[in-house]
Structure 1
Amino acid sequence: MTTANTEAGPTRGATVPAMGEELLSVQGLVKHFPIRKGLLQRQTGAVQAVDGLDFSVNRGETLSLVGESGCGKTTTGRLLTRLLEPTAGKIVFEGRDITHLSEGRMRPMRRDVQMIFQDPYGSLNPRHTVGKIVGAPFKLQNVKTEHGVKKAVQGLLELVGLSPEHYNRYPHEFSGGQRQRIGIARTLALRPKLIVADEPVSALDVSIQAQVVNLLEDLQEEFDLTYVMIAHDLSVVRHVSDRVAVMYLGKIVELADRVSLYEKPMHPYTLALLSAVPIPDTARKTKRERIRLQGDVPSPINPPPACRFHTRCWKAQDLCKKVEPPLIQLAPGHQTACHFPENATEEQAADALKAAETAGK
């Protein structure tokens, strides 16, 4: 893992800033990819990529989705932007249900919901100039600009730290960090309200990651943007997030504000993830125990019953194999899906077991 937060300046304040009203709400979101075999292409199973997510995002905040590869983070991001059709559940944006909007009715919504892709080169058409790439949203949405598209594009390039002279260049003439800035400029063209950033710095050099992270934060402050950040680098997540949702095998196992989650993680899986984050202070590093999970991540085609983490959890008991733990609030703003949470008071542990009894009935 990288340590971009050490280069990107100070992290957000110790307290979570007051956010605006709810911008996005997700209820019971499910995405299963069917597996088909034979001449008749009959469905023989399904990849349960996302299997029942509930969360909301407030206007102006950054919610990060973290977890191992294959946990469903990117699929969730593509569902939120409606690049994928949900199998079940509901997505509500600004009070409007957009879950199953047709392509035509979804088209105007594209102005408000945009995505930054992980690969800064693969997401740019190598046959098009930067001007054409960044100007494409204006053309696709038939948006008129005050001084013409070229001036608007050059202004966007300056906004993300590039030169207006780059207008006629092609993607292969730029470095990885510059390409990602081009992608960010394209995303900002229509002044969206929600941006889903899918691993926006993971493909970049460590020395460039901090610059792009700082750029995203500056843009958020300037344009009142709301981010859903998808990442696996917990040091970057700690720097940019207001709240963090930890995913495991298609489900959210913990959701809390950044300070609570990093200082007092309650789910064993979260504790294991945090134990792998390198600490620059060598004196502290010797005192922290690295938790190494046993076994591989189970297949999303046939996930374990009840608690999906019980096959790798050192605290698992018979209850974990029989009853799925509900995602409940054990502390103010801190939700956990675990029968035997870590760093929990006696009262919180009792609440977790009571929720298990209710779920098992």
Structure 2
Amino acid sequence: MADHILEVRNLKKYFNVGHGNVLKAVDNVSFSIKRGETFGLVGESGCGKSTTGRTIIRLYEATDGQVLFNGEDVHALRGSKLRDFNRNMQMVFQDPYASLNPRMTVGDIIAEGIDIHGLFTGRKRRERVVELLRTVGLNEEHASRFPHEFSGGQRQRIGIARALAIEPQFIIADEPISALDVSIQAQVVNLFKRLQKERGLTYLFIAHDLAMVKHISDRIGVMYLGALVETAEANELYRKPLHPYTQALLSAIPIPDPEVERKRERIILQGDVPSPINPPSGCRFRTRCPKAMPECATHVPEWKEVENDHFVACHLYS
């Protein structure tokens, strides 16, 4: 698909956790992202969304499946092609406190990729760092400071500047706002949107906050226990969620209007998320699903396009 910058096909990432047990963190996940769009990946903590991002960018090697970036299989790249891939795909991490080296100045943190790829030296390197700092709303004098001198929101801006330094085409933002104060979250999301508009970036935006994801995403994928259960255009997903899990997640989003909030039905899921070491048979969500049927225990639901570009894996639609 020429207009797709990324295609993920039947991706699996399993971890051996001892005593013959295998943790199926990502299990047969498929989706694609068009050039210039933002694909939001949401779900509860532990559903495998961060592992999906890290496997796409090759921080983890895939157990099975394919990741195609600009038509090339990411996990088969070697030499100069791998180097080009590393330049074109960057990551912004969840924890702005842990992701920056405390012993390096901000200027050197931002310039690390520039140095590795040999893009600029001397005065031009310095000018590039200053330009990046200004791009993310920081000042020239911040370059000589260390990470501990900054707030969480400022550190995340430094992380974004570092990701932008080598002019990537694609950025994986792994829960980039979850560690920030609510007052700062909107600023960082708006920064992502502005940079996308100015630079034509493509994003995989990973988060568990569905309300915030709607503001930045063109399309959204919902994950549960290592598998995708639904994908749709953002407004369509919020207007007409099909999967019972998506419906439950959306029912938990606070609504500012007390009258509407009082009238709407809140779906409370029973029980805990099962272990990915021993997921339920058939549909993984069946143990917590208010609409579970006998066949949910025996058959894995088919991934199906129910409406135009609206896919769901649920026996209610088979």
**TM-score, normalised relative to structure 2:** 0.97
In the alignment, what sits opposite 2:98?
122
5+ residue gaps, structure 1: 1-19, 38-43, 341-351, 354-361
1:36-67: CA deviation from partner (whole Å, max 9, x where unpaired): 24xxxxxx010000000110000000001000
Is 1:298 the counterpart of 2:304? The answer is no
In the alignment, residue 308 of structure 1 is paired with which amino acid?
R
Q: CA deviation at 1:106?
A: 1.9
2: CA distance, partners of 1:97 / 1:256: 25
1: CA distance, partners of 2:308 / 2:122: 47
In the alignment, what sits opposite 2:192?
216
In the alignment, what sits opposite 1:26?
8
Matches within 5 A, 1:340-355: 340=316, 352-353=317-318
Secondary structure, aligned partner of 2:279: coil
Kept in 2: contact 1:145–1:152 (CA 8 A) = no
Kept in 2: contact 1:244–1:261 (CA 8 A) = yes
Matches within 5 A, 1:164-179: 164-179=140-155
Secondary structure, aligned partner of 1:132: helix
5+ residue gaps, structure 2: none
1: CA distance, partners of 2:205 / 2:31: 14
In the alignment, what sits opposite 1:53?
29
Is 1:101 the counterpart of 2:77? The answer is yes
1: CA distance, partners of 2:71 / 2:121: 29
Q: CA deviation at 1:101?
A: 2.8
Percentage of matched positions with identical amino acids: 55
Secondary structure, aligned partner of 1:148: helix
Secondary structure, aligned partner of 1:121: coil
In the alignment, residue 29 of structure 1 is paired with which amino acid?
L
Q: CA deviation at 1:108?
A: 2.3
1: CA distance, partners of 2:124 / 2:170: 25
Is 1:321 the counterpart of 2:297? The answer is yes
Is 1:339 the counterpart of 2:318? The answer is no
Secondary structure, aligned partner of 2:286: coil
Q: CA deviation at 1:136?
A: 0.5
1: CA distance, partners of 2:84 / 2:307: 39
1:63-119: CA deviation from partner (whole Å, max 9, x where unpaired): 010001110000000011111000000000001111233477522211100000000
1:269-314: CA deviation from partner (whole Å, max 9, x where unpaired): 0000001000001110011111111110000000001100001111
Given candidates 56, 75, 79, the residue that maps to 2:51 is 75
2: CA distance, partners of 1:249 / 1:205: 28
Q: CA deviation at 1:146?
A: 9.4
Q: CA deviation at 1:147?
A: 4.8
2: CA distance, partners of 1:122 / 1:21: 35
Kept in 2: contact 1:112–1:191 (CA 8 A) = yes
Secondary structure, aligned partner of 2:76: coil
Secondary structure, aligned partner of 1:279: coil
CA RMSD of aligned residues (A): 1.3
The 4+ residue runs of structure 1 with deviation greater than 3 A are 102-105
**TM-score, normalised relative to structure 1:** 0.86
2: CA distance, partners of 1:32 / 1:105: 26
Q: CA deviation at 1:218?
A: 0.1
1:195-238: CA deviation from partner (whole Å, max 9, x where unpaired): 00001111001111111110000000000000000000111011
